[in-house]
Structure 1
Amino acid sequence: MSLGDSEANRPPTVLPTKNEMAGLIASKDWSTTALGDTNSWSSSLKLIVGIMTASGFPMAVRWGPEFILIYNDGYRSILADKHPWALGLPFRVVWPEVVSELMPLQEAILAGKSPGVYSEDRPLTIRRRGMSWETAHFTVSYSPVPDPTSSTGIGGVLVTAVETSDRLRIEKALEFKTHELFEANQRLQDGQALYRSALAAGRMGTWETDLVAKTRLWTPEGMALFGINLPGGRGHVGGAQDEYWSALHPDDRHLMQDFHELADNQDSFTSEYRVVWPDGTTLWLRGHGRVVARTPDGKAHRLVSIVADVTERKAAEDHAQFLMHELSHRSKNLLAVIQSISRRTARTTTTMEDFESRFGRRLQGLAASHDALVRNSWQGASLADLMRQQLLPFTDIQNSRVELAGPDIVVTAEATQAIGLAIHELATNAIKYGALSVPAGKVKISWTFDSESLASRGLLLKWVEQGGPRVVPPSRNGFGHLVIGEMIERSLNAKVTLEFLHHGLEWSASIPATNLVIEAQT
C-alpha cells in the first residue's frame, strides 16, 4: 500500500478520546493559549500529558512561566465547579485565592532552585463551588518536569494530589468514637444498636483488651475486619492462641509489643498495620487505642481499640508512588536519548547552523515516535503508524512514491524509539542523496515475520530504494550510519544489513520477537 492509498485509514492527528479530559485536551484550540498549538509543544509536555491522561489518579500539569493548567479526569473533583473552565488557563486565574501561598513554591521549582515539594494534609482555603469558601486538605506532591527546550531545563510542575478532607474527618470521628466508647462502658446496653450501625457504615471495628486477665472481647465488626470468628467474641492475649497476633501480617507482628509499651506510658495512641485473612486477603487498618483502666503501679490494665479499613487509601498512595517512579524513569531515558543525539550530531557538524538544523530534525523524528506512543498510552506503537509519522515531513502524503507493506504489528516503546530514529535517518538520506532526491525515485518499506513459529518468530523490516541516482558508498560513516546500524543492533539485539546496490540503497533489520507487543497478521 502507498501513503496516498492509506490516507483514508490513517490515524487521526489528535489523541483518541478514552476519557473526558483526553477528549477535551485533544479538541481544545490551544493556539489561543500561552502554550500555542499542540504541534509546537515540546516532547516533554506531550509525554507528561500522555502519561497524566492515561492515569486515573488525580494529576495536573502547570506549564511554562504562567503555569498553564492541564489536568486529567481524576483532578476534576478537586476543581469542582471550575471544571472545565480552568483548562488552559494560568494558575493565577484558576486559583487566585492561594496564589500568595503556592506561587513561590512553583516558581522555585521552575527556576531549578527547588527539587520539588511534598506536603501532607495541607490546608487550603479556596472557592470552588460558587462563591462559597471552604478549607480543604490535600496531600500533594509538586515535582519538576524536565524539558530540554526550557532555559532552566524545567518546563513545568507536575502536581499529584489526594484530597484528604474526608480522611481527616474520619480520623477525628475515630478519636471521638474512642472517647465515646470510654464513656459508653457505663451505658453500653442503651447505645449499642446505634453504635454498631455507625461502625458498619464507616467500615470500623472495636474490641477491648484486658492485659491482666489476658483476654480480649471483640465486637462483630472488629472480628469481621480481622477475618476471625470467635464464640461470643472472646479471645486470648499472648501465646499461640492470640488471635490478634495471628491475624497481623508477619512483617507487622512486632508492632503488638510496641502498642503494649505505648499503653503503659500514655493514655492514647494511633496505629496503622496490615492484617491477613485466612483466604489470603490483606487489609490495611488505621485506628486508635485508649487506656481505660490501669494497675496500681500505673501499667495498662484495660484498653479499648477502634480501627477503620484504609486499604483503598493505601492503594492510592502506592499507585501515586508508582506513577512518580515511572515518570522519573521515562524522563531520564528521554533525556539520555536527547543527550546522545546531541553529542553524536556535534561530532559530525562543523558549524552551529548545521548542528541546529540536524539536531532539530532529529528531535522532530524523536517527537514523532513519542506521538505514536502517546496514542497508545505508552503501551507500544503500531508499526504502520510509526512509519507514517516519520515520513510525513519528507514526502507529500498524497503521492505514491513511498509504499508501505506489512501486517498489523505493535512494537514496544523501546523499539518504537530505535526504529523511528532509523527510519528518520534513512528518509533524510533518501531526500538528500537517494531515491527521493529525484522525481522518478521510489522507496518501499516492508515488514513481515521471519518465522512461522509463534513462540520464536521475529520481525524482518526492509527499506528498498529504486530509481534514484547512482549509489556511491559514503567515504566516512556519520551519525546516521550509527543510528541505522549499531544503535538498532545494540538496543534491540537485532541484526542489520546495509547494501549499496546499483539500483539503490537496501537496508534490512531482523528484530527479535521480544520487541513485539502485538502481532496480528492480516
Structure 2
Amino acid sequence: MARLIADKDWSTTPLGARADWSPSLKLVVGIMTASGFPMALRWGPELVLIYNDGYRSILADKHPWALGLAFRVVWPEVVSELVPLQEAILAGESPGLYSEDLPLTVRRRGTNSETAHFTVSYSPVPDPFSPTGIGGVLVTAVETTERLKVEAELQFKTHELSEANRRLRDNRALYQSALAAGRMGTWETDLVAGTRLWTPEGMLLFGIDLPGGQGQVGGDKDEYWSALHPDDRHLMHEFHALAEKQDSFTSEYRVVRQDGTALWLRGHGRVVARTPDGKAHRLVSIVADVTERKAAEDHARFLMHELSHRSKNLLAVIQSISRRTARSATTMAEFEGRFGQRLQGLAASHDALFRNNWQGASLAELVRQQLVPFVEVQGARVALSGPDVVVSAEATQAIGLAIHELATNAIKYGALSVPEGKVKISWALDRGPYELLLKWVERGGPPVAPPSRNGFGHLVIGEMLERSLNAKVVVEFAVCGLEWSASIPATHLVVAAQNGIGPGA
C-alpha cells in the first residue's frame, strides 16, 4: 500500500498533489502504512479513503479501486450509519467511537450483500490547517465475523449435544461414541457421587491422563481443580453454585497442564439431570481451546493502547511546537514556514523510528534524515563520525528536533550560510554516567554571537534535551564558530556497538 499511495496521482482527487498535503496528513499516512494492524484514514470533508495493507482484506474486491475515493462512493451501503458519526468527529463535536462486534451490511464481493462484524475505533486526527482543527478520521478495525460464526457454531453444537445427552442418558456407550465422533473436549460430572467421567479429548486439553477417564470431585486429588490456573480455581465452586440455580452457563478460564503449557478455554456447562428435590445431579461440560483468540485480543488491545499513547505524545509535542513557533513568528507566513519545517523534522525522526519497529533509531540515520533537507550529508561541507548507536524512541524525538534546529540556524546564520563553511557532527561512547557525547561544531562561517532573545530553537537544543533526557547541554558561541554538545545518560541507549562510522561509511 505504501507503494500504491506513493505512485498514485493524487492531483486528480480532492486531496490534491501529495507534495501539497499538510504535515499532519503525511505523518498519519506514514504511521498507518508502517503498521500491520488494519487501519484506514478518511480525510477532509469528502472523507477520502487511504488505507494500509492490513485493511485490504476488509475491502475485498473493492481494493485497489477504493484508494483515493470518497467514503460515500466506496461504502454507499453504510452511508446512513457511519457518515453522520464521521462528520461529527470532523466538526469537533465527537471525541470518536469504540465498538466491539459492530454489525454492518456491506457489499464487497460483487453485488452480494453480507452482514459482517467489526471491532472498530474511530479517532479524530488533529490538523492545524483544517478549519475545525480536525483533518480526518483514523479507523482501526478488526473483523470478528469468523470468530462470531465459530462461537455460534460452538453454541449450536453444545445445544445439539445436550439434546443428545437427554435422549441417550441410559445408553452410555452410544453417548461416549457421540462425544468421540464430535471430537469435543468434554466431561460429565456426577455431583451426587462426586465423580467425573472424561473423554480423551477433554483430558488432552487439560493435560491429564486418568485410567478409564475416571476422576473425582473435591479434595486435593480433584484433577479439574488441580489443572485450573491458581487465579481461576475459585470458578469451580461458582460453577457448582450456578448449576443449582440454572440449567446452563458459559465461562472462560485458564488451565495449566503438567508440561507448564497454559491454555485459555471457553466452556459451556449444562445440567442434564436433577435429584427429586431439584438439586443438580449430572452436569455435562464442553470446552474449546480459545488461546489464540485471547492472544489476538490481547495483542489488539496492546496495539490500540500503544497507538493511543504514541498519538497523544506526538500531539503534545506538535502542540508545544505550534505554541512556541507562534510566540516568535511575526506574520502568519513566517509561522506557517517555521511550523511546517519543524513538523517535517519531527516526521523525519518518526521515519527513523518506523525502520526499527519503534524500538529506537540509529543515531547516524537520524542525523542524516534531519540534514538531508538542508545540505548533502558526508559531502565536502558536512562530516559525520561515531560508533554504531541506537537510541531510545524518546531520545530519537528530542535529538532529532535539536539537530533540525541546529541545521536551520546554521543555514540562516552559521557555517552553512556561506560556501566555505563546514559542520562536523560526532558522537562517542564513554563508561561514565553520561555514556553518549554528541557534538555539533561549525567552522568557516561568519562570526556568531548569542541571540538577543531565547526562542524555540534555544529551547529545543537546550532545555528540552535537559528536561526530557536528563542530559547536560553546553552551547558556546566561539569566535571560530558555534559549538554545541550534549551528554546523554546511558538509559537512552538501546544498542551501542563499537563499530565506527566515518566519511564514506
Query: When the two structures are superposed, what TM-score results if normalisation uses the length of structure 1?
Result: 0.86
Alpha-carbon distance in 2 for matches of 1:49, 1:193: 56
1:81, 1:129 within 8 Å by CA — same for their partners in 2? Answer: yes
User: Alpha-carbon deviation of 1:123?
Assistant: 2.4
Residue equivalent to 2:192: 212
CA shift in 2, pair 1:473/1:158, >3 Å = closer
Unaligned runs of 5+ in 2: 501-505
Amino acid at match of 2:349: S
Residue equivalent to 2:149: 169
Alpha-carbon distance in 1 for matches of 2:446, 2:337: 24
User: Do structure 1's residue 460 and structure 2's residue 422 form an aligned pair?
Assistant: no
Residue equivalent to 2:182: 198
Residue equivalent to 2:472: 495
CA shift in 2, pair 1:343/1:255, >3 Å = same
CA shift in 2, pair 1:47/1:446, >3 Å = same
Partner deviation per Cα, 1:17-49 (whole Å, 9 max, x = no partner)? xxxx34434444444433344444445444444
Partner deviation per Cα, 1:274-318 (whole Å, 9 max, x = no partner)? 222223222111132111111222222112111111111111111
2:209 match: secondary structure: coil
> Number of residues paired by the alignment?
495
User: Do structure 1's residue 470 and structure 2's residue 447 form an aligned pair?
Assistant: yes
Alpha-carbon distance in 2 for matches of 1:213, 1:134: 50
User: Do structure 1's residue 450 and structure 2's residue 434 form an aligned pair?
Assistant: no
Residue equivalent to 2:345: 365
Stretch moving more, 505-514 or 143-152:
143-152
Alpha-carbon distance in 1 for matches of 2:226, 2:127: 51
1:174, 1:288 within 8 Å by CA — same for their partners in 2? Answer: no
1:115 match: secondary structure: coil
User: Alpha-carbon deviation of 1:195?
Assistant: 4.5
Of 485, 488, 497, the residue aligned with 1:508 is 485
1:443, 1:463 within 8 Å by CA — same for their partners in 2? Answer: yes
Amino acid at match of 1:465: E
Partner deviation per Cα, 1:231-274 (whole Å, 9 max, x = no partner)? 11111122222222222222222222222222222222211112
2:266, 2:290 within 8 Å by CA — same for their partners in 1? Answer: yes
Amino acid at match of 1:450: L
User: Alpha-carbon deviation of 1:197?
Assistant: 4.3
CA shift in 2, pair 1:345/1:52, >3 Å = closer
Alpha-carbon distance in 1 for matches of 2:407, 2:58: 47
User: Alpha-carbon deviation of 1:190?
Assistant: 4.6
Of 339, 358, 361, the residue aligned with 2:319 is 339
User: Do structure 1's residue 285 and structure 2's residue 265 form an aligned pair?
Assistant: yes
1:302 match: secondary structure: strand
User: Do structure 1's residue 137 and structure 2's residue 117 form an aligned pair?
Assistant: yes
Mapping of residues 311-460 of structure 1, within 5 Å: 311-395=291-375, 400-447=380-427, 449-451=428-430, 458-460=435-437
2:176, 2:199 within 8 Å by CA — same for their partners in 1? Answer: no
CA shift in 2, pair 1:44/1:314, >3 Å = farther
Of 68, 79, 86, the residue aligned with 1:88 is 68
1:498, 1:505 within 8 Å by CA — same for their partners in 2? Answer: yes
1:395 match: secondary structure: coil
Mapping of residues 20-169 of structure 1, within 5 Å: 21-169=1-149
2:130 match: secondary structure: coil
Query: When the two structures are superposed, what TM-score results if normalisation uses the length of structure 2?
Result: 0.89
Partner deviation per Cα, 1:391-450 (whole Å, 9 max, x = no partner)? 233336796333333344332221222112212222222222222222322222222x23
User: Alpha-carbon deviation of 1:82?
Assistant: 2.0
Alpha-carbon distance in 2 for matches of 1:222, 1:351: 74
Residue equivalent to 1:18: none
Residue equivalent to 1:11: none
Alpha-carbon distance in 1 for matches of 2:161, 2:378: 77
Alpha-carbon distance in 2 for matches of 1:456, 1:360: 36
Stretch moving more, 50-59 or 211-220:
50-59
CA shift in 2, pair 1:471/1:54, >3 Å = closer
Alpha-carbon distance in 1 for matches of 2:199, 2:115: 35
1:376 match: secondary structure: coil
Alpha-carbon distance in 1 for matches of 2:240, 2:175: 28
CA RMSD, 1 decimal: 2.7
1:86 match: secondary structure: coil
1:474 match: secondary structure: coil
Alpha-carbon distance in 2 for matches of 1:265, 1:167: 30
Alpha-carbon distance in 1 for matches of 2:15, 2:353: 22
Stretch moving more, 136-145 or 189-198:
189-198
Alpha-carbon distance in 2 for matches of 1:245, 1:456: 52
CA shift in 2, pair 1:267/1:84, >3 Å = same
Alpha-carbon distance in 2 for matches of 1:458, 1:78: 48
2:451 match: secondary structure: coil
Residue equivalent to 2:503: none
Of 468, 490, 495, the residue aligned with 1:518 is 495
1:382, 1:408 within 8 Å by CA — same for their partners in 2? Answer: yes
Unaligned runs of 5+ in 1: 1-20
1:162 match: secondary structure: strand
The answer to which structure, 1 or 2, has the higher relative contact order (CA under 8 A, 6+ apart) is 1
Residue equivalent to 1:484: 461
CA shift in 2, pair 1:353/1:279, >3 Å = same
CA shift in 2, pair 1:30/1:246, >3 Å = farther
1:298 match: secondary structure: coil
Stretch moving more, 427-436 or 179-188:
179-188
